[in-house]
Amino acid sequence: MGRQPCCDKVGLKKGPWTAEEDKRLINFILTNGQCCWRAVPKLAGLLRCGKSCRLRWTNYLRPDLKRGLLSEAEEKLVIELHSKLGNRWSKIASHLPGRTDNEIKNHWNTHIKKKLRRMGIDPLTHEPLIPSANDLLHQEQQQVGASADRREGNDKVSEEQGEEENITSTVDDAFCTDEVPMIQPHEMIVPCASTPSASFSISSSSSSSSSSSSSSSSCSSSCSSVKAQEIQPPCMEWPESVCLWGLDELNGWDFNYAQGDEQLGLDLFTQWQRTALDQETWKFELF
Residues engaged in binding DNA (CB under 7 A)? 1, 3-4, 6, 9, 13-17, 35-38, 48, 50-52, 54-56, 59-60, 69, 87-91, 101-103, 105-107, 109-111, 114, 209-210, 212-213, 215-216, 219
Q: Least distance from C-beta 82 to DNA, angstroms?
A: 10
Closer to DNA at the Cβ: 222 or 275? 222
CA angle 63, 98, 126 (to 5 degrees): 155
Closer to DNA at the Cβ: 50 or 120? 50
Closer to DNA at the Cβ: 101 or 280? 101
Q: Least distance from C-beta 42 to DNA, angstroms?
A: 11
Interhelix angle 72-85/156-174, rounded to 10 degrees, is 60
Radius of gyration of the chain (CA): 23
Q: Least distance from C-beta 274 to DNA, angstroms?
A: 26
CA 26 to chain CA centroid, Å, is 15
Closer to DNA at the Cβ: 13 or 126? 13
Contact 31, 265 (CB under 8 A): yes
Q: Least distance from C-beta 177 to DNA, angstroms?
A: 15
Q: How deeply is 109 buried, as exposed, middle or buried, from its count of CB atoms within 10 A (0-12, 13-18, 19+)?
A: exposed
Q: Least distance from C-beta 68 to DNA, angstroms?
A: 8
How far is the CA of 241 from the CAs of 7, 98, 265, in angstroms? 30, 10, 20
Closer to DNA at the Cβ: 97 or 233? 97
